[in-house]
Amino acid sequence: MLNASNITFRIGNKPLISDISVSFACSKLHLIIGPNGAGKSTLVKVLARLLRPQTGKVEYEGTDVSTASEAELAKRRAVLSQAVEVAFPLTVREVVMMGRYPHFGGRPGPTDESVVDEVMQHFDVTEFSERDYQTLSGGERQRVNFARVLAQLWRDGTVDAAPSCRYLFLDEPLTFLDIRHQIDFLKKIRTFTDAPDVVTVGVVHDLNLAARFADQIVLLNEGRLIANGAAAEVLTAGRIEEVFKVKPTLIQSEGSGMHLIFD
Amino acid sequence: MTKQYAGRQILIIALAVVTLLVLAASIRYGAIDFSIAEISRALTSLIPGQPAPTLDQRIFLELRFPRAILCLLVGASLGVGGTLMQALFRNPIVEPGLVGTSSGAAFGSALFFVLGGVFHIGASLWSLPIAACAGGIISTYLVFLLARSREDGRASIVMLLLTGLAVNALFMSAIGFLSYIARDPQARSITFWSLGTLSGASWKAVEIVAISTLAGSIIALRYAKQLNALMIGEEEATYLGVNVNRLKWIILSVNVVIVAVATAFTGVISFVGLVVPHILRMLGGADNRFLIVGSALTGATLLTLADLIARLSVRPAELPIGIVTSTVGVPVFIFLLRRRQYVF
């Protein structure tokens, strides 16, 4: 359970987000939408505590995160970003292993090695294991990063009564992916989020994908919260036209929910 | 254990063996050559009860041997310094000589030699290294302050290199002025500071440089994992649990201290810190744990080889060692600049 109350974040005198209060539940996929400059990415960074808001607070399970240490936070909070550039030649396995950094001191232990093996298999990157990350395509890189992020949040299934929730943030990770990868990624995120202790909050640009995959949609505009709820409640024709300045036609289809077509 | 990890361990062992071989060559050959029998006789003369060392043996014990060890330590310092700078700036073309640290440290030491005599300060063993560190901190800080963009507070590599160039020129001409007015013979020798030499080596210098090199490398090694995380970006490193600001301060401080202390005794030796991490990355990848240990060994080896060339090429005279390192380093630097143009 993640709770944000009265969040305002400014750079200089310019507020990027103003007075946002919103909460996010476990096992639900929450997607933030809004036009460019709405403050979506800023909100995700504040929730993940990369940025510290001037006013308001972010709580993970009722505990204020502003005093948590980086190392402690990294054990249960991970962020999948837009595009990760590696400055030096690293192998794919080395990049994925970084996800385990918060969990070991000196050298990776057997658990870390087996977690890395498992996530790499899950994301179909085992065959690149020893390849230089810099030589991969955008889609392949993003699969590697997703594997890294899941390695970070990995929890052994045998441990019951999990001590705390895990928080996954998505900072526009689908931007440079083709439609097949976008859908594939969202399905994997959906599956991961189904775990009872996972809170997922992300930014996605495509309104149709958001409508199809999100349990809860948060609509922002000019740094303010406009609406928050299920896709059908938030995505009304009037609201979309007002915020995005394009006129949509909404089609309800059986099975895959709601579709938007723009003029 | 992965294949790569085992491969790196073998590489480190091989590098250590090469370092020892080069050290052996370094103590054996020079203005005069010592045979292995002479070296062992000189060493046994140190044992109490053995006959006192002869003049030749004393030359070996008091000049050749400390010089060889100092060379290893200074090479290790410069190698580790280069690795740390490159990791910190996520860029393979920075090194302590290029961002002002070395020239500032040399200025601090020169100032100490000149003013120390005037004001009768500096009785303590540590005064010289402290003066060098102060100079190194001032010049490095100056470069970062001036290179920082007004908009986002970041230093681009172009700005860093250009500002480094300007600050280097400033401090080198200040050293030139000090050399001009100096009475101390070491400070008077402008070539000592600008081209570097190990001819002033002593056991006292070895002691001080050994402490800073070892302590600095061990601290750096503790942060190897965090420096690895930094390779995927500052934001990503933060998400992986790294306190990036703290890391930057620690690594920059370690770097300034090890480079400044080495420079205090040898003058500015450029390009070792640039070339060494580059060679290692080609051999065994970019993992910083491997790079830090490996660059200490490779830096020691390369600088010892350079010192051998400096001593043997024009014997019985010798070249300033900086001439040798620049001859090798400059082409590598230009190659890297041209190949990595997209970094700018």
A130 touches chain B (CB under 8 A): yes
- The first and second tokens of residue A42, run together, are 């800023």
Closest-CA residue to B269 (of B213, B329, B219): B329
> Which one is predicted more confidently, B233 or A257?
B233
pLDDT tens figures, B297-343:
999 999 999 999 998 988 888 888 988 998 888 888 888 777 764 44
Tokens of residue B240, six digits: 């992986």
Mean pLDDT calculated for residue range B163-190: 82
Q: How would residue B123 be classed by pLDDT, with cut points 50, 70 and 90?
A: low
Q: Does A70 touch chain B (CB under 8 A)?
A: yes
Nearest to B231 among A78, A90, A93 (CB): A90
Chain A window 164-223: which residues touch B at a Cβ cutoff of 8 Å? none
Decide if B238 and A95 are in contact by the 8 Å CB cutoff: no
Judge: B228–A71 Cβ closer than 8 Å, yes or no: no
The domain limits of chain A are 1-75+168-236, 77-163
Q: Kindly tell me the burial class for residue B235, based on how many C-beta atoms sit within 10 Å of its own C-beta (0-12, 13-18, 19 or more).
A: middle
Residues from chain B that touch A79, judged by Cβ atoms under 8 A, are: 235-236, 239
Identical fold, A1-75+168-236 and A77-163: yes
Strands of the sheet containing A198-203, edge to edge, are: A77-80, A166-171, A198-203, A29-33, A216-221, A224-229
Chain A hits for B6, CB-CB cut-off 8 Å, are none
Cβ–Cβ contact B229 with A under 8 A? yes
CATH classification at residue B194: 1.10.3470.10
Cα gap A4→B49, rounded to integer Å: 78
Q: Do the chains contact at A102 and B236, CB–CB below 8 Å?
A: no
Q: Of B57-71, B154-168, B304-318, which range is least confident?
A: B154-168
Asked if A142 and A185 touch (Cβ cutoff 8 Å), the reply is yes
pLDDT at B225 over 70: yes
* Chain A contact set for B294 (CB, 8 A): none
The answer to whether the CB atoms of B286 and A90 lie below 8 A apart is: yes
Give A-chain residues touching B92 at CB under 8 angstroms: 88
Residues in chain B within 8 Å Cβ distance of A86: 231-232
Nearest CA in chain B to A101: B240
How remote is the C-alpha of A251 from its chain's centroid?
27
DSSP state at residue B108? H
Distance (Å, whole) CA B98 – CA B330:
12
Q: What is the pLDDT of residue B343?
A: 45
Residue with tokens 């250590």: B16
Q: Which helix (H) or strand (E) segment is A200 a member of?
A: strand A198-203
Instruction: Decide if B241 and A91 are in contact by the 8 Å CB cutoff.
Output: no
* DSSP state at residue A220: E
> Do the chains contact at B239 and A86, CB–CB below 8 Å?
no
pLDDT digits (tens, 9 = 90+) for B257-296: 999 999 988 888 988 998 999 889 988 889 999 999 999 9
User: Tokens representing A203?
Assistant: 């930014």
Question: Strand pairing partners for A5?
Answer: A57
pLDDT at A179 over 60: yes
B240, closest residue in chain A (CA to CA): A74
Instruction: Kindly list the strands in the beta sheet with A14-24, ordered across the sheet, starting from the edge strand earlier in the chain.
Output: A14-24, A2-11, A55-60, A63-64
**Domains in chain B, number:** 1
Q: Which domain holds residue B175?
A: 3-343
Residues paired with A166 in a beta bridge: A198
Beta partners for residue A80, in sequence order:
A170
Inter-chain touch A48–B3, beta carbons under 8 Å: no
Q: What is the DSSP string of B115-160?
A: HHHHHT---STTHHHHHHHHHHHHHHHHHHHHHB-TTTSPBPHHHH
Query: Cβ separation of A102 and B241 shorter than 8 Å?
Result: yes
C-beta atoms surrounding A192 within 10 Å: 18
In B, minimum Cα distance to A48 occurs at B239
**How do residues A91-133 score in pLDDT, each as one tens digit?**
999 999 999 999 998 889 999 999 999 999 998 899 999 999 9
The pLDDT, as a whole number, for residue B1 is: 44
Identify which of B243, B290, B317, B262 has the alpha carbon closest to the alpha carbon of residue B108: B262
Q: Does A28 touch chain B (CB under 8 A)?
A: no
Contacts of A109 in chain B (CB under 8 A): none
| Spatial CB neighbours of A81, under 8 Å, sequence gap ≥ 6 | A145, A171, A172, A173, B235, B236
CA distance A102 to chain B (A): 6
- Fold designation for A1-75+168-236: Rossmann fold (3.40.50)
> What's the pLDDT score for residue A203?
94
Q: Indicate whether B118 pLDDT > 70.
A: no
Task: Report, as an integer, the average pLDDT of B96-110.
Answer: 87
Looking at every residue in chain B, the average pLDDT score rounds to: 86
Residue of A nearest to B244 (CA): A70
**B286: chain A residues, CB-CB within 8 Å:** 88-90
Global pTM reads 0.89
Cβ–Cβ below 8 Å for B241 and A71: yes
- Taking only the tens place, the pLDDT of each residue in A28-71 is 999 999 999 899 999 999 999 999 999 999 999 988 999 999 99
Q: What is the per-residue pLDDT for B344?
A: 41
pLDDT score of A17 more than 50: yes
Domain A77-163, CATH among 3.30.470.10, 3.40.50.2300, 3.40.50.720, 3.40.50.300: 3.40.50.300
The predicted pLDDT at position A198 comes to 93
Chain A residues with CB inside 8 Å of B241's CB?
70-75, 101-102
Cβ proximity of B156 and B147 under 8 Å: yes
Report the gap between the CA of B202 and the closest CA in chain A (Å).
37
